[in-house]
Structure 1
Amino acid sequence: MLHAEVEISSFLKARRAALDPAEIGLPGGISRRRVRGLRREEVAQLAGISVDYYTRIEQGRAHAISDSVLDAIARALRLTGGEVTYLRNVADPRRRTADCAPAGPGQTVRPEIQQLLDTMESTVPAMIIGRGMDILAWNALGGRIAFDLEALDRGRRNSALLVFLDPAARALHPEWERIAEEVVGNLRAESGRHPDDPRLCEVVGELLDGSAEFRRAWEAQAVHECLRGTKLIVHPQVGELQVSFESFRLSTDPDQALVTYSAPRGSVTAARLRHLAELVTADRLAAERATADRPAPDRPAAPLPGSVARAGAGAA
């Protein structure tokens, strides 16, 4: 599990170590500092709280921390909006209970959402991302925008695992370092909402074991949810795709997000997406024809009319 006490301690230490004392008017220099960044005493002074109280907060030993204190610490450490939300989530379990839907063991997509995906399948690649960055559902075009999702085992249909552990990821994503950074930021933000979620813990554990790049990025404690942006994908069938992506949290399923990909009308990428849609349709039709042409399995021959009655009469 991603224990909140460990998370808040690691996060606050990393954030104060990342600050340059000179930028906020504090003395620096090798001769005056034994550690990088700010000392606990300096963070406490900037936040207007006692050193003892800040130390207990950083060690995960403080309870019922007020919003005003958390805001003061956030200002002292110059946290971003996403980092402030993460700090509040890991600092107060009651906030996670109130603000976040319970993280149950199973993740399912409502039929109406799959229907929505399918209505866009010839023009807009789209998918549903759930907890732990699992890819829960997709339309035909979304299933082929990068990885072939249909060909993957269910447990491998996960954006984070694919980016860090699939050998094809770096060829598909020329800007792999940026994509990887976004993945880690998203996972870290989610760990603040659901630190005890079994699937999230499973994904993070596998990545910590299997990727040195992920370990380094995870230990840096960066928190930033990337809900929109651009991606360059080198598709093995249609070539380079420069797409924009948008993420929309589902109001009735807040742990799920609809992710769509698009390109400007008339662009090269738009034309290539249309070509990819044609290839997907052709593959589907070919699979349907193959299924229809496959001979039916052998069945026992049906008895001739009256044979059952005759057999019964003979037995009598």
Structure 2
Amino acid sequence: MDNQAEVRDFLRTRRDRITPEQAGIVGGGGRRRLPGLRREEVAMLAGMSSDYYAKMERGNLAGVSPEVLDALARALRLDDAESEHLHDLARAANPSPSRRRSRPAPSAIRPSLQRFLDAITGAPAWVVNQRADIIALNSLGRALLAPLLEDPDARNNQARFIFLSPAARTFYPQWDAAADAAAASLRTAAGRNPRDTHLTDLIGELVTRSDAFSNRWSAHDVRLHNSGTKHIRHRDVGDLEFVYEAMQLPDHPGWTLFAYTSAAGSPTEERIRLLGSLASTPTEAPAPAPDTQRTGLRRAE
């Protein structure tokens, strides 16, 4: 990914959304050719020269200190996710040979982590990587995400499911909110890992195949998904409303564990119990008797 273009577009879109009145600039709300703040106004608010800020908005963050980035974040009224993203873009523009290279996440889940997931019996839980690939699930998570896991377009990826599968608009009643969150999560991941070719390939695929994703991607919105609410319409048990918690897994860089819970006594709690009982009901035919296993003959129906 082109770091300079990422920096330029991110700063420009953040500047364009702030009015002079919001920034506290007296008399700055007259006739303007474009919405938002002017470059010199951002520079004044951040306590830097107009030339220095103009260089930054052209995409050059080389040598910019964390203190200057923090001042710029305050001037542009960036939230925590946006401020972190700005620092990520600056780190990508200032690679340090002495900086310790981060450990790659393992390709397979540890048995102990899978046992931990399986021990969560009252709530759907699963692990995703930074590309939104589903890595592992517990039984309820598998039952809840069955439409995604069975969808050939999704290929076990939440972002592909949301943007490429027609079923996603039924599964997520608040589809626009789910799509906003998915695109912002990928934008955040791309800022942290600009050299992840699998991630950039996924983004390129979605930009090419989905106008809904392309429009969201060009907005340069980022988001941290630590907790929140999610609405799902499940084909077997109907409408569900969850509160989710997201936990980073330090031994698995880039992996996040999500757990979806519901309020005690709520319709969702009852429906999740029903979903769990449906998931635990055997659907496979019984195993052949020992004598047919030896002979290879089919059992009589």
TM-score, length-scaled by structure 2: 0.88
Q: Write the distance in 1 (CA, Å) between the matches of 2:277 and 2:5.
A: 50
Residues 74 and 162 of structure 1: is their aligned pair in 2 closer, same or farther, counting only changes over 3 Å?
A: same
Q: In the alignment, which residue of structure 2 is the partner of 1:107? A: 107
Q: In the alignment, which residue of structure 2 is the partner of 1:238? A: 237
Q: Residue deviations 1:226-255, cap 9 Å, x none? A: 221111111111111111111100121131
Q: Residue deviations 1:29-60, cap 9 Å, x none? A: 33xx2222112121112111122221221222
Query: Is the CA contact (8 Å cut-off) linking 1:9 and 1:60 kept in structure 2?
Result: yes
Q: In the alignment, which residue of structure 2 is the partner of 1:78? A: 77
Q: Write the distance in 1 (CA, Å) between the matches of 2:238 and 2:50.
A: 57
1:150 deviation in Å? 4.7
Amino acid at match of 1:126: A
Residues 52 and 168 of structure 1: is their aligned pair in 2 closer, same or farther, counting only changes over 3 Å?
A: same
Q: In the alignment, which residue of structure 1 is the partner of 2:283? A: 286
Q: Which has the higher helix share?
A: 1
Query: Is the CA contact (8 Å cut-off) linking 1:129 and 1:258 kept in structure 2?
Result: yes
Q: Write the distance in 2 (CA, Å) between the matches of 1:234 and 1:34.
A: 45
Query: Is the CA contact (8 Å cut-off) linking 1:21 and 1:28 kept in structure 2?
Result: yes
Q: In the alignment, which residue of structure 2 is the partner of 1:156? A: 155
Q: Write the distance in 1 (CA, Å) between the matches of 2:3 and 2:21.
A: 31
Q: In the alignment, which residue of structure 2 is the partner of 1:224? A: 223
Q: In the alignment, which residue of structure 1 is the partner of 2:164? A: 165
Structure 1 SS opposite 2:161: helix
Query: Is the CA contact (8 Å cut-off) linking 2:42 and 2:76 kept in structure 1?
Result: yes
Query: Is the CA contact (8 Å cut-off) linking 2:132 and 2:157 kept in structure 1?
Result: yes
Q: In the alignment, which residue of structure 1 is the partner of 2:30? A: 29
1:149 deviation in Å? 5.0
Q: In the alignment, which residue of structure 2 is the partner of 1:265? A: 264
Residues 268 and 9 of structure 1: is their aligned pair in 2 closer, same or farther, counting only changes over 3 Å?
A: same
Unaligned runs of 5+ in 2: 297-301
Residues 53 and 99 of structure 1: is their aligned pair in 2 closer, same or farther, counting only changes over 3 Å?
A: farther
Query: Is the CA contact (8 Å cut-off) linking 2:13 and 2:219 kept in structure 1?
Result: yes
Amino acid at match of 1:28: G
Q: Write the distance in 2 (CA, Å) between the matches of 1:265 and 1:91.
A: 45
Counterparts of 1:54-93 in structure 2, within 5 Å, are 54-93=53-92
Residues 274 and 95 of structure 1: is their aligned pair in 2 closer, same or farther, counting only changes over 3 Å?
A: farther
1:292 deviation in Å? 4.1
Query: Is the CA contact (8 Å cut-off) linking 2:227 and 2:245 kept in structure 1?
Result: yes
1:22 deviation in Å? 2.1
Amino acid at match of 1:286: T
Q: Write the distance in 1 (CA, Å) between the matches of 2:198 and 2:288.
A: 39
1:69 deviation in Å? 0.8
Q: Write the distance in 2 (CA, Å) between the matches of 1:219 and 1:197.
A: 19
Residues 150 and 211 of structure 1: is their aligned pair in 2 closer, same or farther, counting only changes over 3 Å?
A: closer
Q: Write the distance in 1 (CA, Å) between the matches of 2:19 and 2:185.
A: 25
Pairs aligned (count): 291
Greater Cα offset, 161-170 or 107-116? 107-116
Query: Is the CA contact (8 Å cut-off) linking 1:207 and 1:214 kept in structure 2?
Result: yes
Amino acid at match of 2:283: A
Q: Write the distance in 2 (CA, Å) between the matches of 1:189 and 1:260.
A: 21
1:183 deviation in Å? 1.3
RMSD of aligned Cα (Å)? 2.5
Larger radius of gyration: 1
Residues 281 and 293 of structure 1: is their aligned pair in 2 closer, same or farther, counting only changes over 3 Å?
A: farther
Percent identical pairs in the alignment equals: 35
Q: Write the distance in 2 (CA, Å) between the matches of 1:81 and 1:100.
A: 25
Flag as ranges the 4+ runs of structure 1 deviating above 6 A.
none
Q: In the alignment, which residue of structure 2 is the partner of 1:144? A: 143
Unaligned runs of 5+ in 1: 300-316
Q: Residue deviations 1:209-231, cap 9 Å, x none? A: 12112111111111111221111
1:107 deviation in Å? 3.4
Query: Is the CA contact (8 Å cut-off) linking 1:53 and 1:62 kept in structure 2?
Result: no
Amino acid at match of 2:109: V
Residues 239 and 46 of structure 1: is their aligned pair in 2 closer, same or farther, counting only changes over 3 Å?
A: same
Q: Write the distance in 2 (CA, Å) between the matches of 1:176 and 1:149.
A: 14
1:10 deviation in Å? 0.8
Residues 244 and 96 of structure 1: is their aligned pair in 2 closer, same or farther, counting only changes over 3 Å?
A: farther
Query: Is the CA contact (8 Å cut-off) linking 2:130 and 2:254 kept in structure 1?
Result: yes
Q: In the alignment, which residue of structure 1 is the partner of 2:299? A: none
Amino acid at match of 1:236: R
